[in-house]
Structure 1
C-alpha cells in the first residue's frame, strides 16, 4: 500500500506471497493488515498496487474481472424513456470574495473564487501603481523627476 498523509509524508508498505492470490477479499485483508500497522495516521491519499496478475479459469471472484473492459453488448446508456429525469439541485453558495449567491458545482465554484481573487489582486496592483503613496511621491521628488512627472 502507498499512504500519503495530510502533511505530505509518504509511506510505502508491501507484503510478498509465495503463491498467487485469487480473490479481492484476500487483497483487502492484506491491505487492511498493512494499514492497521501504520495507524494512527491522517491519510490524504491511499493506493493499493498488485503485481504479477495471472488469469484464472473461473472469474467468479477473480481480480481480473475488475481490470477488463465492458463487452460492447453491454449498453452504457439506457434508452428507457420511462425513467424520470431528475435534475440535481445545486446548493446555493455565497462567494467569500464578492458575496454573490451562486448555484454552482464545486469545480465551477472554485473557478469563480479564483477569478474573484485574481480580479482583486489586479485591482490592488493597479491602485498601487497609479496612485503612489505620499511617502513615495516625496522620495521621488527628493531624488529628482520620476517617470510619472512626464505623464501629467
Structure 2
C-alpha cells in the first residue's frame, strides 16, 4: 500500500507534496476544531484530561483566527494539489464504510498488533520508577571514577533496576 502512495506522489514536485501534506493537515485541524466545539455543546459533562477555561462562545471565538489561517493555506494550494487532496479525501470516505462492511461480513480478517512486542513497549498505565536523587544517576559509567570491581557491579545493578 505504501508503494501505491509513493507512486501517486512521485509525479508531484516537492512544493506540491508539501502543499498536499499541508492541505490534509489543515483539513484535520479544522475537523479537530469542529469536534472541540461540538463536544463542548453536546457533551459538556464528558471527562477530559484538560479543559479550556472559557465558555463555549469564547471557545468558538478562539478557533476562528486559526481556522481562517488554515483555510488560507488550503486556498493557496495549486489546482493539482487540490485535485489530489480531494481525491484522497473522497477515497478515504469511500474506503472506510467499505472496510466496515467487509469486516462485518468477515470477508477480510483484520489482525491487531500484539499487546507487548518483545518487551519493547512498557505498560502505559504504570509509572516509571522514582529516582530519589536525580543528580546521583548517570547514564554513562566513567571508568576513572570506578576504582573497585564491587563498585562497578553495584552501579550496574542500580542502572539495571532503573530500566
**Fold shared, TM-score > 0.5 on shorter chain:** no
**Could you state the TM-score of these two structures normalised by the residue count of structure 1?**
0.20
**Could you state the TM-score of these two structures normalised by the residue count of structure 2?**
0.19
The higher relative CO (CA closer than 8 Å, separation ≥ 6) is in: 2
Pair member with larger Rg? 1
Greater strand fraction, Structure 1 or Structure 2: 1
Greater helix fraction, Structure 1 or Structure 2: 2
